[in-house]
Chains A and B, each alone.
Chain A
Amino acid sequence: MPAPPPIRVAAATSALPEVTRWVAGVAAGLDADAAYRLRLVVEELVVNVAEHARPADGTVRLAAGDAGPDAVWVLVEDGGPPFDPRRPPRPPGADLPPERRPPGSMGLVLVAAFTDDLRYERRAGRNRARLLVRTRPAAPG
């Protein structure tokens, strides 16, 4: 099934329902586990742009395609200040146990764990995070 065409959504949490519907189309060929991870990762990246980057044009662009029979890639692009989601700034309290840490850094931890590849480039004044999610073999046991 071909991936749905790119969309541009408001860089706001109010756009998440639209993002979720779009991701469901992208994930149509994945198993339930990979589809769950893909949804969560894309939502976290959009929320991150909405809450931190706040691009001047107020939008995030999402594009996607197949990466073989069991994998998809998604490009999350925004015009906010440079931000590499693979190397988030060290959050305050990083040495504390999680339950005592200030909230806010957990989304990108999930992004790192749930993607099978994550690349970032700054091009023409825009952040371009390209992630890959593939159906993983069942874990032993």
Chain B
Amino acid sequence: MSFECRWERRDGTAVVTVAGELDVHSAEDFRAVVGQALDDAPDRLVLAMAELTYLSSAGLRCLLFARQKAAAAVDVVLTGVRPEVERTVRLAGLDHAVTFADESG
């Protein structure tokens, strides 16, 4: 049960790349990295999730954290989301709070 999370700035966008499993064990790591990325005051927050293989409700709460911590004008965009992860996000009703995009997002 691995998890990796890092971020980089690309012009106005902060890109957080997550890989592995986002659950109760990795949530704190994710929040710390997203917090750093948002402290850099981006115009847009991209969560690159192509390598994210598992998302539990603790992971959903992480997405809520990102949405709530980002300024209202900052789009939160999920890219490359796997179908099982996207389904989980939609079931929780969070698809209204974030935007889905392909990997070029």
- Please give the residue numbers on chain A whose beta carbons come within 8 Å of chain B beta carbons, in ascending order: 13, 16-17, 20, 33, 36, 39-40, 43-44, 47, 97-99, 103-104, 106-107, 109-110, 113
Contacts and interface: CB of A to CB of B under 8 A. Distances in A.
Nearest to B65: A103
B56 A44 contact: yes
B24 interface: yes
A23 B1 CA distance: 14
A99 B94 contact: yes
Contact residue range for chain B? Answer: 20 to 34
A33 B85 CA distance: 11
Tell which of B88, B94, B96 has the most Cβ of chain A within 10 Å: B88
Contacts of A110: 56-57, 88, 91-92
A103 B91 contact: no
Contact of A40 (B24, B67, B88, B96): B88
Contacts of B88: 40, 110
